[in-house]
Amino acid sequence: MWKVLATTALLITLTACETPSVKNRPGDGTVIIQMGRIGADKVQYRHLDSVNAVRQARGLSNLSLDASLIRAAKSHASDMSAQNRPWHFGSDGSSPLDRLENYGYSGQFIGENVSETFEDDFNTLDVWMNIPLSASIILDPKATKMGIAWHQDSNGKIWWVQLIGS
Protein backbone atom coordinates (compact mmCIF):
# COMPACT_ATOMS: atom_id res chain seq x y z
CA MET A 1 0.00 0.00 0.00
CA TRP A 2 2.81 2.41 0.86
CA LYS A 3 4.34 1.84 -2.60
CA VAL A 4 1.10 2.91 -4.27
CA LEU A 5 0.92 6.00 -2.06
CA ALA A 6 4.57 6.86 -2.75
CA THR A 7 4.05 6.45 -6.50
CA THR A 8 0.92 8.60 -6.42
CA ALA A 9 2.73 11.30 -4.43
CA LEU A 10 5.63 11.21 -6.88
CA LEU A 11 3.34 11.54 -9.89
CA ILE A 12 1.47 14.44 -8.27
CA THR A 13 4.78 16.13 -7.47
CA LEU A 14 6.04 15.61 -11.00
CA THR A 15 2.76 16.90 -12.43
CA ALA A 16 3.11 20.07 -10.40
CA CYS A 17 6.60 20.72 -11.77
CA GLU A 18 5.52 21.60 -15.29
CA THR A 19 1.87 22.19 -16.07
CA PRO A 20 1.23 22.39 -19.82
CA SER A 21 -0.73 25.44 -20.88
CA VAL A 22 -4.14 25.16 -22.46
CA LYS A 23 -4.29 26.74 -25.93
CA ASN A 24 -8.01 26.24 -26.56
CA ARG A 25 -10.70 23.60 -26.44
CA PRO A 26 -12.10 21.91 -29.53
CA GLY A 27 -15.84 21.26 -29.69
CA ASP A 28 -15.57 17.85 -28.01
CA GLY A 29 -14.16 19.38 -24.80
CA THR A 30 -10.67 17.93 -25.27
CA VAL A 31 -7.85 20.12 -23.98
CA ILE A 32 -5.17 21.04 -26.52
CA ILE A 33 -1.72 21.20 -24.94
CA GLN A 34 0.98 23.57 -26.14
CA MET A 35 4.11 21.47 -25.75
CA GLY A 36 6.35 24.13 -27.28
CA ARG A 37 6.49 25.98 -23.96
CA ILE A 38 8.76 23.39 -22.37
CA GLY A 39 11.89 21.81 -23.73
CA ALA A 40 11.96 18.35 -25.22
CA ASP A 41 14.48 17.15 -22.67
CA LYS A 42 12.19 18.16 -19.80
CA VAL A 43 9.28 16.16 -21.24
CA GLN A 44 11.51 13.17 -21.93
CA TYR A 45 12.98 13.15 -18.41
CA ARG A 46 9.58 13.78 -16.83
CA HIS A 47 8.11 10.85 -18.79
CA LEU A 48 11.08 8.67 -17.83
CA ASP A 49 10.59 9.57 -14.16
CA SER A 50 6.89 8.66 -14.42
CA VAL A 51 7.61 5.34 -16.12
CA ASN A 52 10.28 4.53 -13.53
CA ALA A 53 7.90 5.37 -10.66
CA VAL A 54 5.37 2.92 -12.09
CA ARG A 55 8.08 0.28 -12.56
CA GLN A 56 9.51 0.82 -9.04
CA ALA A 57 6.05 0.39 -7.52
CA ARG A 58 6.04 -3.08 -9.06
CA GLY A 59 9.57 -3.93 -7.96
CA LEU A 60 11.12 -3.47 -11.42
CA SER A 61 14.40 -1.78 -12.29
CA ASN A 62 14.61 1.71 -13.74
CA LEU A 63 14.91 2.48 -17.44
CA SER A 64 17.31 5.02 -18.91
CA LEU A 65 16.88 7.18 -21.99
CA ASP A 66 18.62 6.02 -25.14
CA ALA A 67 19.51 8.51 -27.90
CA SER A 68 18.96 6.00 -30.73
CA LEU A 69 15.51 5.10 -29.40
CA ILE A 70 14.64 8.79 -29.05
CA ARG A 71 15.67 9.54 -32.65
CA ALA A 72 13.69 6.54 -33.96
CA ALA A 73 10.65 7.62 -31.91
CA LYS A 74 10.88 11.23 -33.14
CA SER A 75 11.10 10.12 -36.75
CA HIS A 76 8.07 7.87 -36.40
CA ALA A 77 6.01 10.50 -34.55
CA SER A 78 6.51 12.92 -37.45
CA ASP A 79 5.73 10.18 -39.95
CA MET A 80 2.50 9.20 -38.14
CA SER A 81 1.43 12.84 -38.33
CA ALA A 82 2.10 12.89 -42.08
CA GLN A 83 0.08 9.67 -42.46
CA ASN A 84 -2.60 11.00 -40.10
CA ARG A 85 -2.86 7.70 -38.23
CA PRO A 86 -1.29 6.22 -35.12
CA TRP A 87 0.19 2.89 -36.05
CA HIS A 88 3.44 0.98 -36.05
CA PHE A 89 4.38 1.16 -39.73
CA GLY A 90 6.15 3.99 -41.52
CA SER A 91 4.93 5.56 -44.73
CA ASP A 92 7.80 3.71 -46.43
CA GLY A 93 6.57 0.38 -45.04
CA SER A 94 9.18 0.31 -42.26
CA SER A 95 8.54 -1.57 -39.04
CA PRO A 96 9.75 -0.59 -35.57
CA LEU A 97 12.67 -3.02 -36.05
CA ASP A 98 13.62 -1.30 -39.32
CA ARG A 99 13.61 2.11 -37.62
CA LEU A 100 15.76 0.86 -34.74
CA GLU A 101 18.29 -0.51 -37.20
CA ASN A 102 18.24 2.74 -39.21
CA TYR A 103 18.95 4.76 -36.07
CA GLY A 104 21.73 2.49 -34.80
CA TYR A 105 20.05 0.80 -31.85
CA SER A 106 21.90 -2.44 -31.17
CA GLY A 107 19.93 -3.69 -28.18
CA GLN A 108 16.91 -5.97 -28.08
CA PHE A 109 13.57 -4.46 -29.15
CA ILE A 110 10.84 -5.01 -26.56
CA GLY A 111 7.99 -2.91 -27.89
CA GLU A 112 6.56 0.33 -29.22
CA ASN A 113 3.61 2.32 -27.90
CA VAL A 114 1.96 4.95 -30.09
CA SER A 115 -0.81 7.46 -29.49
CA GLU A 116 -2.73 10.22 -31.22
CA THR A 117 -4.10 12.66 -28.66
CA PHE A 118 -4.56 16.23 -27.52
CA GLU A 119 -3.21 15.29 -24.08
CA ASP A 120 0.17 15.49 -22.38
CA ASP A 121 2.66 12.74 -21.56
CA PHE A 122 1.07 11.95 -18.17
CA ASN A 123 -2.34 11.29 -19.65
CA THR A 124 -0.80 9.32 -22.50
CA LEU A 125 1.12 7.12 -20.04
CA ASP A 126 -2.09 6.59 -18.06
CA VAL A 127 -3.87 5.39 -21.22
CA TRP A 128 -0.98 3.08 -22.11
CA MET A 129 -1.01 1.60 -18.60
CA ASN A 130 -4.70 0.76 -19.07
CA ILE A 131 -4.07 -1.15 -22.30
CA PRO A 132 -2.74 -4.62 -21.40
CA LEU A 133 -0.31 -4.93 -24.34
CA SER A 134 1.07 -1.40 -23.88
CA ALA A 135 1.42 -1.89 -20.12
CA SER A 136 3.24 -5.20 -20.66
CA ILE A 137 5.82 -3.38 -22.81
CA ILE A 138 6.37 -0.69 -20.16
CA LEU A 139 6.54 -3.28 -17.38
CA ASP A 140 8.70 -5.84 -19.16
CA PRO A 141 11.28 -7.01 -16.60
CA LYS A 142 13.99 -7.24 -19.30
CA ALA A 143 13.56 -3.58 -20.27
CA THR A 144 16.49 -1.24 -19.59
CA LYS A 145 16.20 1.52 -22.23
CA MET A 146 13.49 3.89 -23.42
CA GLY A 147 12.97 6.49 -26.09
CA ILE A 148 10.04 8.91 -26.01
CA ALA A 149 9.22 11.56 -28.60
CA TRP A 150 6.29 13.38 -30.13
CA HIS A 151 5.21 15.56 -32.99
CA GLN A 152 2.62 18.27 -32.47
CA ASP A 153 0.46 19.40 -35.38
CA SER A 154 -0.58 23.03 -35.81
CA ASN A 155 -4.09 22.13 -34.55
CA GLY A 156 -2.56 20.90 -31.27
CA LYS A 157 -2.85 17.16 -31.92
CA ILE A 158 0.13 15.29 -30.50
CA TRP A 159 1.55 12.08 -31.95
CA TRP A 160 3.42 10.15 -29.22
CA VAL A 161 5.88 7.28 -29.75
CA GLN A 162 7.50 5.36 -26.90
CA LEU A 163 10.12 2.70 -27.70
CA ILE A 164 11.33 0.21 -25.09
CA GLY A 165 14.40 -1.97 -25.43
CA SER A 166 17.09 -3.74 -23.47
Q: Say what the pLDDT of residue 25 is.
A: 36
- Which amino acid, 57? A
Q: Once rounded to an integer, what is the mean pLDDT over residues 65-74?
A: 96
d(CA 113, CA 5): 26
Give the other-Cβ count within 10 Å of 25's Cβ.
12
SS (H, E, C) 9-71: HHHHHHHHHCCCEECCCCCCCCCCEEHHHCCHHHHHHHHHHHHHHHHHHCCCCCCEECHHHHH
pLDDT of residue 118: 81
pLDDT at 75 over 50: yes
59 conformational bin, left if phi > 0, alpha if psi -120 to 50, beta if neither: left
Does pTM surpass 0.85? no
H or E segment and range at residue 5 = helix 2-17
Phi, psi of 63 (to 5 degrees): -95, 160
Condensed to tens digits (0 to 9), the pLDDT of residues 78-121 reads 999 988 868 787 878 899 999 999 999 999 999 999 999 888 88
Query: Residues 14-61: pLDDT tens digits?
Result: 333 333 333 433 344 444 444 444 455 688 999 999 999 999 999 999
